[in-house]
Amino acid sequence: MQSGQESQTGQEPESTPVPRKVRRAIISLWDKTGAADLARSLVALGVQIISTGGTARLLSEAGIPVTPMSEITGFPEILGGRVKTLHPRIHGGILARRGNPSDLAELAAHGIETVDLVAVNLYPFAATIARPGVSLAEALENIDIGGPAMLRAAAKNFPSVLVLVDPNDYAEVLGYLRAGQAVPLAVRRRLAAKAFAHVSAYDALIARYLQQDSPAEGAPAGEVPASEAGEGQAPAGRVRAAELPARLCLDLDKIQDLRYGENPHQIAAWYRPVGQPRMPEAPARLDQLEVLQGKELSYNNLNDLAATLGLLAEFSRPAAVAVKHATPCGVAEGITPDEPALPVLRRALEADPVSVFGGIVAVNRPVDRAMAEALTSLFLEVVAAPGFTEDALPVLQRKKNLRVLRMPADWAARVQSQPPGIEVRAAAGTYLVQTTDAPKPALDGAELLARGLWKLVTGPAPDAALWEDLVFGWKVVKHVRSNAIVVVRNQVTLGIDGGQVNRIDAARHALQRAGEAARGAVLASDAFFPRGDVVAAAVAAGIRAIIQPGGSIRDEESIQGAAAANLTMIFTGRRHFRH
């Protein structure tokens, strides 16, 4: 069989002899963790070290003999270091198959020596683009070219060349080499897979960065992007398919394995986007929370916590949110910006004391001792807050299994200031992708009405207190599973129901939970009323005002029912389905 055919059959890697000895190694690292120890150990084994730039300087200063890359290529670094490793004397030495006589003959003819180990990691693109105000030019300068090329070459030729991208792998490889043993093919293959994954994730991060500010392909000129459409601009605010990339690159790093998924028989793990470490200046992300005490977070804890913090981010005044099975069961907001957090917390806990049992509670103000006493008066899975006073933590520690988490103090501001992200959902072997229904900065109902974004379709104009409840209800209902109805008064939820297959059942259940407290309250709906039955139920319960998107072909039926009862009804023009 000819050598050219061998590589196409897939047989050559298994038959290629695995080298026992490493004679030449390229070390070129941005993250220089363990670099000097690796190089020193290799030199002790008789390995020639070839290096570039800052890595070469580091090794030389450590007294380790280094051969400059330019000495191997016979060509200096050019374009300010942009071109230094892209050369046949480098890539030929990496890519030559040791079991292929033709490859080795070509190397000999051109005076090229083989390279047996490549230790490379890449320019810090993720850290660069995470810096506030970073320019496009700065980002482009931190796109590595030579590093990925060497990694791909070494990983492709893994039977002959060891490839290292992770300092955690140095010790394992050195162990084999010190023992005079060949690094097993299975280990080489695993290292190659890690290298390809490293490069793939790096490229995906760059692609996402360049896509995020690019004009939508095929988008009509002058159309308002969905991310900029105002509240109430439903038609112009619709997400066009062209705003999402034709190829979505989604690479993730595992944060940790979880005990199990939603159920004990399901395997689960927690991931973050590649290249986005837990950085203080990064956009709001769940892994930025600090665990202060309690059992390990579970899949269900994390899912519920994400729902809790998503709703909490809607509020700038003191607020408390209780969630069970990713659904709000008690929410309260301060009547004034300076209202103490304790009464707000109590109102949220008392909103549905049955459902909150075994749930998650988050507040957007530091927890003091009195708040800790209130939180430990019932069984909770998780408590989250931006801080805890010294005398609060001992109280919380009485519940040793209670998970206590500290969130960034500016969580709401981070969430509200960052552009909408994406949500990905598996759908029978395919994936559905949409932009998030992200929290908006503080809504002013009267201003939205004045601007024509919201409409008063019937009833008396809201006074200031009623506007507070209308806006509060509208913020909460978007976080409840559809069909969703929320009843609120004095900025506390009285009745919440969602996940129903028809809207009238959701309304009846929410009104039933509210009971007599529904008289004079506000009812919020995540979508329009298909008929007038919801308004009739609201009128019978004594509801004072309704806020809903409108848009049904039978809106007039609902409007007439509200008008007959002198009930205020606001149309927002924006639906908030959540499935």
Per-residue model confidence (pLDDT) at position 272: 86
- For the stretch 139-149, pLDDT in tens is 888 788 888 88
**Residues 6 or more apart whose Cβ sits within 8 Å of residue 305:** 286, 289, 297, 360, 362, 382, 384, 405
Where residue 18 falls among pLDDT bands split at 50, 70, 90? Answer: low
Higher local confidence (pLDDT), 235 or 437: 437
Where residue 412 falls among pLDDT bands split at 50, 70, 90? Answer: confident
- For the stretch 214-243, pLDDT in tens is 444 444 333 333 333 344 433 333 444 457
Per-residue model confidence (pLDDT) at position 95: 87
CB atoms within 10 A of CB 352: 21
Higher local confidence (pLDDT), 128 or 178: 178
Where residue 440 falls among pLDDT bands split at 50, 70, 90? Answer: low
Measured in whole angstroms, the distance separating CA 388 from the mean position of its chain's CA atoms is 26
Catalytic site includes residue 156: yes
Tell me the average pLDDT across 329-356: 95
User: What is the percent of the chain with per-residue pLDDT over 90, rounded to a whole number?
Assistant: 49
Q: Which of 156, 194, 324, 479 is catalytic?
A: 156
Per-residue model confidence (pLDDT) at position 213: 56
Q: Residues 366, 369, 371, CA angle at the centre, nearest 5°? A: 65
Tell me the average pLDDT across 259-281: 80
Tell me the average pLDDT across 356-370: 96
Per-residue model confidence (pLDDT) at position 220: 39
Q: Is 247 exposed, middle or buried (0-12, 13-18, 19+ CB in 10 A)?
A: exposed
CB atoms within 10 A of CB 160: 24
Higher local confidence (pLDDT), 16 or 118: 118
Q: Residue 322 above 70 pLDDT?
A: yes
Residue 486 CA to residue 514 CA, distance in Å, equals 9
Lookup result for tokens 């062209």: 242
Where residue 441 falls among pLDDT bands split at 50, 70, 90? Answer: low
What pairing do the DSSP bridges indicate for beta strands 522-525 and 545-548? parallel
Q: Which two three-digit tokens encode residue 25?
A: 């190694």
Q: Which of 325, 399, 455, 509 is catalytic?
A: 325
Where residue 569 falls among pLDDT bands split at 50, 70, 90? Answer: very high
DSSP single-letter state for residue 229: P
Where residue 321 falls among pLDDT bands split at 50, 70, 90? Answer: very high
- Are the C-beta atoms of 378 and 352 separated by less than 8 Å? no
Q: Residue 571's closest CA among 525, 511, 518?
A: 525
- For the stretch 489-524, pLDDT in tens is 999 999 999 988 999 999 999 999 999 999 999 999
Higher local confidence (pLDDT), 409 or 334: 334
- Are the C-beta atoms of 276 and 130 separated by less than 8 Å? yes
Three-class HEC string of 383-430: EEECCECCCCHHHHCCCCCCEEEECCCCHHHHHHHCCCCEEEEEECCE
Q: Residue 254 above 70 pLDDT?
A: yes
Where residue 98 falls among pLDDT bands split at 50, 70, 90? Answer: confident
Where residue 19 falls among pLDDT bands split at 50, 70, 90? Answer: low
Per-residue model confidence (pLDDT) at position 360: 96
Where residue 304 falls among pLDDT bands split at 50, 70, 90? Answer: very high
Q: Residue 203 above 60 pLDDT?
A: yes
Residue 511 CA to residue 92 CA, distance in Å, equals 75
DSSP single-letter state for residue 163: E
Where residue 442 falls among pLDDT bands split at 50, 70, 90? Answer: low
Q: Residue 383 above 90 pLDDT?
A: yes
DSSP string, 466-520: HHHHHHHHHHHHTTSPSS-EEEEETTEEEEEE---SSHHHHHHHHHHHHGGGGTT
- For the stretch 49-88, pLDDT in tens is 988 878 888 888 888 898 888 877 777 676 766 766 678 7
Higher local confidence (pLDDT), 540 or 109: 540
Residue 318 CA to residue 342 CA, distance in Å, equals 9
Which of 274-288, 454-468, 499-513 bottoms out in mean pLDDT, i.e. has the lowest? 274-288
Q: Is 239 exposed, middle or buried (0-12, 13-18, 19+ CB in 10 A)?
A: middle
- Are the C-beta atoms of 131 and 116 separated by less than 8 Å? no
- Are the C-beta atoms of 511 and 534 separated by less than 8 Å? no
- Are the C-beta atoms of 480 and 526 separated by less than 8 Å? yes
Per-residue model confidence (pLDDT) at position 387: 95
Q: Which two three-digit tokens encode residue 380?
A: 């909770």
Which of 103-112, 205-214, 417-426, 460-469 bottoms out in mean pLDDT, i.e. has the lowest? 205-214
CB atoms within 10 A of CB 306: 14
Catalytic site includes residue 455: no
pTM: 0.76
Which of 8-12, 191-195, 276-280, 399-403 bottoms out in mean pLDDT, i.e. has the lowest? 8-12
Which of 113-122, 161-170, 235-244, 405-414 bottoms out in mean pLDDT, i.e. has the lowest? 235-244
Find which of 12-26, 209-223, 472-486 is predicted with most confidence, using mean pLDDT: 472-486
Lookup result for tokens 């039955």: 533
Q: Which residues pair with 253 in a beta bridge?
A: 272
Query: What's the whole-number average pLDDT of the chain?
Result: 85
What is the amino acid identity at position 484? A
Residue 57 CA to residue 437 CA, distance in Å, equals 50
- Are the C-beta atoms of 524 and 489 separated by less than 8 Å? no
Where residue 276 falls among pLDDT bands split at 50, 70, 90? Answer: low
Per-residue model confidence (pLDDT) at position 233: 38
- Are the C-beta atoms of 491 and 469 separated by less than 8 Å? yes
Tell me the average pLDDT across 192-199: 90
Q: Which two three-digit tokens encode residue 528?
A: 């329009």
Q: Residue 399 above 80 pLDDT?
A: yes
- For the stretch 32-51, pLDDT in tens is 888 888 989 999 989 999 88
Per-residue model confidence (pLDDT) at position 96: 86
- Are the C-beta atoms of 55 and 32 separated by less than 8 Å? yes
Three-class HEC string of 255-302: EEEECCCCCCCCCEEEEEECCCCCCCCCCCCHHHCEEEECCCCCHHHH
CB atoms within 10 A of CB 292: 16
Q: Residues 29, 35, 41, CA angle at the centre, nearest 5°? A: 135
Where residue 207 falls among pLDDT bands split at 50, 70, 90? Answer: confident
